[in-house]
Structure 1
Amino acid sequence: MDIAVIDYKGGNVQSVLYALDRLGVRATLTADAEQIRRADKVLFPGEGEAASAMQELRAQGLDQVLPTLRQPFLGICLGMQLLGTHSEENDTTMLGILPFEVKRFPAAADYQVPHMGWNNLQRLRSPLFAGLQEQDFVYFVHSYYAPVGAYTIAEAEYPAPFSAAVQHQNFYAVQFHTEKSGPVGTRILENFLKL
Structure 2
Amino acid sequence: MSQSDIILASGSESRRNLLLSAGVEAVCVKPNVDEEAAKATFRAEGMRVADQAMRLAELKAVKVSRSREGLVIGGDQMLNLEGEAMDKPVDMADAANHLRRFSGKAHTLETAIVVAEGGQPVWRHLAKPKLTVRPLSDAFISSYLEQSGEDVLKTVGAYQLERLGAQLFSRIEGDYFSILGLPLLPLLDYLRTRGFLEA
TM class by shorter chain equals: 0.3 to 0.5
User: Where is the strand percentage greater, Structure 1 or Structure 2?
Assistant: 1
User: Where is the helix percentage greater, Structure 1 or Structure 2?
Assistant: 2
The structure that has the greater radius of gyration is 2
Task: Tell me which of the two structures has the higher relative contact order, counting C-alpha pairs closer than 8 angstroms and 6 or more residues apart.
Answer: 2
Q: TM-score, normalised by structure 1?
A: 0.33
